[in-house]
């Protein structure tokens, strides 16, 4: 059984449950905040399983499974987008900031705010475009799997929304919109 500490938020609202120091790792891994990672792992497993099944059926059975390639490609697309959402949270995307590092602090701050806003707009546009693509492609069927093509695009819209949420949760306004050097500069 997992022990949970309750903390009162500073604003005086409802109490928030926080896992205690001895809480199980599995409970923390399955939180909604990290759902993007869980979906990415499931997609990776689906890719490996479908490709393995395709190879097995090609060499051991008279008729190979035709659906395995499409399943792997769809799962790979989802893996890329849900993995990107996880990378936004951990600030793992590449950024080339050698030029920005040479700017005076005020200019770096302006670039940082502009970049943050630009990324937020990008995630909103991606979510809207994938949602629209899912709507207009719903009547088109995927060839081997015989599922609506919206099944391919709708999760990418959800992943784009998760990227936006992760981007907003970084909350750079808490530290006064201060530019931070890339993690690569520490290497």
**pLDDT (tens digit per residue) in 85-141:** 999 988 888 887 888 889 998 998 888 889 999 999 999 999 999 999 999 999 999
The count of structural domains within the chain is 2
| Residue whose C-alpha is closest to residue 41's, from 82, 90, 93 | 82
In angstroms, the CA 85 to CA 122 distance is 13
The CA-based angle 56-59-61, given to 5 degrees, is 80
What domain range includes position 14?
Answer: 1-30
On whether both 83 and 162 belong to a single domain, the answer is yes
On whether both 75 and 11 belong to a single domain, the answer is no
On whether both 4 and 17 belong to a single domain, the answer is yes
- Tell me what pLDDT residue 137 has: 95
On whether both 94 and 161 belong to a single domain, the answer is yes
Instruction: Decide if 184 is inside a domain.
Output: no
On whether both 138 and 52 belong to a single domain, the answer is yes
Helix (H, G, I), strand (E, B) or coil at 106: helix
pTM of the model: 0.76
For 32-43, the pLDDT digits (tens) are 778 999 999 999
Tell me, rounded to whole angstroms, the distance of Cα 115 from its chain centroid. 19
On whether both 19 and 96 belong to a single domain, the answer is no
In angstroms, the CA 163 to CA 40 distance is 13
On whether both 25 and 53 belong to a single domain, the answer is no
Element housing 5 (H / E): strand 4-7
On whether both 3 and 44 belong to a single domain, the answer is no
In angstroms, the CA 20 to CA 96 distance is 38
Other C-beta atoms lying within 10 Å of the C-beta of residue 14: 9
On whether both 40 and 14 belong to a single domain, the answer is no
On whether both 19 and 80 belong to a single domain, the answer is no
On whether both 22 and 85 belong to a single domain, the answer is no
Instruction: Decide if 187 is inside a domain.
Output: no
Mean pLDDT score of the chain: 83
């Amino acid at each position: 059984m997992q022990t949970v500490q309750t903390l009162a938020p500073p604003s005086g609202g409802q109490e928030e449950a926080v896992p205690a120091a001895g809480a199980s790792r599995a409970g923390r891994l399955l939180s909604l905040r990290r759902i993007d990672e869980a979906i990415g792992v499931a997609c990776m497993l689906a890719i490996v399983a479908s490709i393995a099944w395709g190879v097995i059926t090609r060499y051991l059975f008279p008729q190979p499974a035709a659906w395995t390639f499409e399943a792997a490609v769809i799962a790979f697309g989802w893996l890329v987008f849900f993995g990107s959402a996880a990378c936004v949270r951990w600030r793992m995307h590449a950024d080339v900031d050698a030029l920005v590092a040479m700017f005076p602090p005020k200019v770096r701050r302006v670039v940082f705010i502009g970049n943050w806003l630009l990324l937020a707009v990008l995630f909103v546009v991606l979510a809207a475009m994938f949602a629209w693509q899912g709507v207009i492609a719903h009547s088109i069927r995927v060839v081997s799997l015989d599922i609506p093509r919206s099944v391919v695009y709708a999760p990418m819209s959800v992943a784009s929304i998760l990227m936006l949420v992760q981007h907003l949760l970084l909350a750079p306004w808490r530290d006064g919109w201060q530019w931070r050097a890339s993690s690569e500069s520490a290497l």
